[in-house]
Homo-oligomer: A and B are copies of this chain.
Amino acid sequence: MNAADLRLPVDVPSTALFTDRYELTMVQAALRAGTADRRSVFEVFTRRLPHGRRYGVVGGIGRVLDAVENFRFDRGVLDFLAAQQIVDEPTLAWLADYRFRGDVWGYPEGEIYFPGSPIMRVEGTFAEAVLLETVILSILNHDSAVAAAASRMAVAAGDRPLIEMGARRTHELAAVAAARAAFVGGFSSTSDLAAGFRYNIPTVGTSAHAFTLLHDNERDAFTAQVASLGGTTTLLVDTYDVTEAVKMAVEVAGPQLGAVRIDSGDLLLLAHRVRQQLDDLGAQDTRIVVTSDLDEYAIASLAAAPVDAYGVGTQLVTGSGHPTCSMVYKLVARADSSGEDAPLRPVAKKSMGGKTSIGGRKWAARRVDADGVAEAEVVGTGEVPAELADRQLLVELVRRGEVVAREPLATARERHVRARAGLPLSATQLSRGEPVLPTEYVG
């Protein structure tokens, strides 16, 4: 299924232009030099986690699969490339026929990663594989940053549900991807209708301060909301005086009031006070939702407070201080000549200035100790040791150009919970530290 066929407002006709110009000029030069068809292996990995983070979370795999499928150069795009003289005629002809016909393996979505983990491996001719660099990195770097923040917030929230509310704090389409990545990382719902539409994530939301201010007084506003949305709605109680508002909310909606939302002030203090007040009013089942510039630390600090759900915006969609990952897409092996059977040779940048990498097509496995707890991320270029054969992390995603690994988003979400549960306990400390697993390279 080509996502463009769905005519969804969050899709685009082609992903081919989400590409740095140099990918195309490299294709042109390689076509002319006769090297474009050399079989090549590119790998996505990161040299480090964001400072202090214990683990990374793979987000965006499903979106990468959409992007690879949609990566076509239509007439409008080719006309643009020609008019701008970005590439020459032979390259335009090659691009017109382009579709990716190679193979992609990768960590499945929701899986944990560490520095050096070969998160994705793209194999094909140089030209067909190099073209995908920019869009693959855009998706994985963005979505994994949000998924990692979501995972930390989910740890902090424990069993309490998390609501994604960050659309207004990020680009309108990044917001949709962020809601998706947040769901993978452990969030339960989103305020973003586009995310509900595109990814079937449950949507929530009832009213803002503007609704209260629109009406002649708070009672009119609550009455209007309850009349329309029912007594189990969530009433926002911090426009004027919280205590007055809670009293009025229960008067208007009755003790079956679904929830009250507090969006400002000292949330710890207010949650205790409002819980007591609700209980005294007989509204023991009315929940308390808090939503005010929360991050994982603020969530953790409310663990002992009578809070029933957290709404998180800014800090989620901006990766809680780390809005992007540092994933790169590197050529790690290539043939000396054209043809599918030409042997692959490991390659790597070698300059003194850093940014070096390890050549060769890699496998990865997570080694566990006698208790079944993960103890190392093992990455190698040779044979997989027998004892690690069934612990390998890369799965086949695209086979000769066909996507073979579609899955529901909930599957990725469940995988993440399992993967995180398999780490040492210190993985879920919020405090800064080293990656919770060492990465071991074997030849």
Interface string of A227-247 (1 = CB under 8 A from B): 111000000001111100000
Chain A residues 285-321 with CB under 8 Å of chain B are: 292, 314, 317-318
Of the candidate stretches A197-205, A275-283, A387-395, the one touching chain B is A197-205
A191 touching B38, Cβ below 8 Å = no
A18 touching B194, Cβ below 8 Å = yes
- Most chain B CB inside 10 Å of its own CB: which residue of A14, A40, A351: A351
Asked whether A428 is an interface residue with its Cβ less than 8 Å from the other chain, the reply is no
Q: Across the interface, which residues of B come within 8 angstroms of A31, CB to CB?
A: 228
Known: A168-B137, A239-B350. A7 touches B67 (CB 8 A): no
Give Cα A263 to B16, complex, Å. Answer: 25
B193 touching A20, Cβ below 8 Å = yes
Asked whether A13 is an interface residue with its Cβ less than 8 Å from the other chain, the reply is yes
Partner of A349, one of B143, B214, B239: B239
Q: Indicate how many identical chains form the complex.
A: 2
Minimum distance in angstroms from A423 CB to a CB of chain B: 27
A193 touching B24, Cβ below 8 Å = yes
A229 touching B25, Cβ below 8 Å = yes
Give Cα A20 to B168, complex, Å. Answer: 8
Asked whether A142 is an interface residue with its Cβ less than 8 Å from the other chain, the reply is yes
Give Cα A327 to B137, complex, Å. Answer: 29
Give Cα A194 to B165, complex, Å. Answer: 28
> Nearest chain-B residue to A335 (Cβ)?
B214
Chain A residues 347-362 with CB under 8 Å of chain B are: 347-355
Q: Across the interface, which residues of B come within 8 angstroms of A440, CB to CB?
A: none
> Nearest chain-B residue to A42 (Cβ)?
B210
Q: Across the interface, which residues of B come within 8 angstroms of A76, CB to CB?
A: 7
> Nearest chain-B residue to A265 (Cβ)?
B353
Chain A residues 332-352 with CB under 8 Å of chain B are: 334, 336, 347-352
Extra pairs beyond A138-B175, A142-B172, A265-B353 (4, CB < 8 Å): A12-B12, A20-B193, A126-B214, A130-B208
Interface residues in chain A, defined as those with a beta carbon under 8 Å from any beta carbon in chain B: 7, 9-26, 28-33, 35, 38, 40, 42, 67, 76-77, 80-81, 84, 86, 88, 126, 130, 133-135, 137-139, 141-143, 165, 167-177, 191-194, 196-197, 203-211, 213-216, 220, 223-225, 227-229, 238-242, 263-266, 270, 292, 314, 317-318, 323-324, 326, 329-331, 334, 336, 347-355
